[in-house]
Amino acid sequence: MKKFMGVFVFMDHKFLFLDSYDRLNLHYQRKISVMLKPRQTQDPLNLEEIKIMTKSCRIAADTLNYLTKYIKAGITTNDIDEMANDYMKTQGAISACLNYHGYPKYTCISVNDMICHGVPDNTVLKDGDILNVDVTALYKGFFGDTSRMYKIGKVSAEAEKICLVAEQARMTGIESITPNGFTGDIGFEVNKYVTRQGYTTVKEIGGHGIGRIFHTDPFIPSIGKKGKGERLKPFYCITVEPMVNQGEEDIEEMDIPGSTVKAYKTTDGLLSAQYEHTVLITDKGYEILTLS
Ligand code: MF3
Ligand code: CO
Ligand code: CO
């Protein structure tokens, strides 16, 4: 990576000193401005709000569990999308994705070389496919966001491996969280782990603050430097959702008709995998709210 000295920039009504990693993250955040443009800052959650947030996250995680027995060869990604919506409704929640910046479906389903924001359609799943299902529930005004990979029938050793690496990348990132730590701590550990396994991380898209707002600051990167980036604060929630590519880290952006949300796939057609948790930062460490 090219090195450059830090600079002062005027941002958020104050001068901030940004080093190369901060600037890198800022650059990436701008590319996904749709998701993170409004720097709407939340207040820390009180006990009552943590209870609701916990429930919203529980519903999202249970939706992923519920889907497991139905996801098999022969069904379409639309079928999965409908089932996820039906289940969330039985739990008193709604999908946060539908109509979000014009997004047309209840969930995001990204098959094989799709990195994220795959739009469910009439694609029939077949033996050997791997797919990410990303569910965000909205319950009593709070967002719970989680995703995981599913495998159809017998998948290749490569497909098995990338799923394992993506799941462990999420865990490695979460384990680096400390109260008052930094977003760069997470990015550092994620990128170190993933590259040592022979895979690449997606730099442009990452995790986010979440709570009463679906996507808010801070941006949670999949590359970073310890002690750099934005500070993590107790009693705020973030998502940790690293995207892992088998080959090139580059991403190809695709339009979603009627929406300002973009879908992304690998440029080389090789596999990509992702796991996502919503995590509460506490005064002692963290709590994963979307265990499934
Ligand atoms: N759930 C996705 C995330 O992890 C965001 C999906 S936004 C949508 O942040 F509009 F595409 F649904
Ligand atoms: Co998500
Ligand atoms: Co998310």
- Phi, psi angle pair for 118, to nearest 5°: -60, 135
Q: How confident is the model at residue 16 (pLDDT cuts 50, 70, 90)?
A: low
For the chain, the average pLDDT equals: 91
Helix (H) or strand (E) run with residue 266 in it: strand 262-266
Is residue 236 in contact with ligand 1, taking CB distance under 6 Å?
no
Report how far apart, in Å, the C-alpha atoms of 61 and of each of 38, 195, 278, 285 are: 27, 28, 10, 21
Query: DSSP secondary-structure letter at 40?
Result: P
Burial 210-248 (b: 16+ CB within 10 A, else e): bbbebbbbbbbbbbbbeebbbebeebbbbbbbbbbbbee
Residue with tokens 């014009």: 102
d(CA 195, CA 245): 10
- Calculate mean pLDDT across residues 264-270: 98
Mutate to test the pocket of ligand 1, among 63, 100, 219, 278 (most ligand atoms within 8 A of CB): 100
Mutate to test the pocket of ligand 1, among 32, 81, 107, 116 (most ligand atoms within 8 A of CB): 116
Mutate to test the pocket of ligand 1, among 36, 57, 261 (most ligand atoms within 8 A of CB): 261
Is residue 152 in contact with ligand 1, taking CB distance under 6 Å?
no
E strands present in 105-171: 108-111, 114-116, 130-139, 142-151
Which ligand neighbours the alpha carbon of 97 most closely? 1
Is residue 103 in contact with ligand 1, taking CB distance under 6 Å?
yes
- pLDDT on residue 21: 54
CA dihedral 61, 254, 222, 150 (to 10 degrees): 40
What is the set of domains in the chain, with CATH numbers? 44-288 (3.90.230.10)
Q: Which two tokens stand for residue 56?
A: 């919203």
Is residue 275 in contact with ligand 1, taking CB distance under 6 Å?
no
Q: Is the model's pLDDT at 114 over the cut of 70?
A: yes
Model-level pTM greater than 0.85? yes
- Phi, psi angle pair for 264, to nearest 5°: -130, 140
Contact status, residue 163 vs residue 132, Cβ threshold 8 Å: no
Atom of ligand 1 minimally distant from the CA of 276: 4
Give pLDDT tens digits for 120-165.
Answer: 999 999 999 999 999 999 999 999 999 999 999 999 999 999 999 9
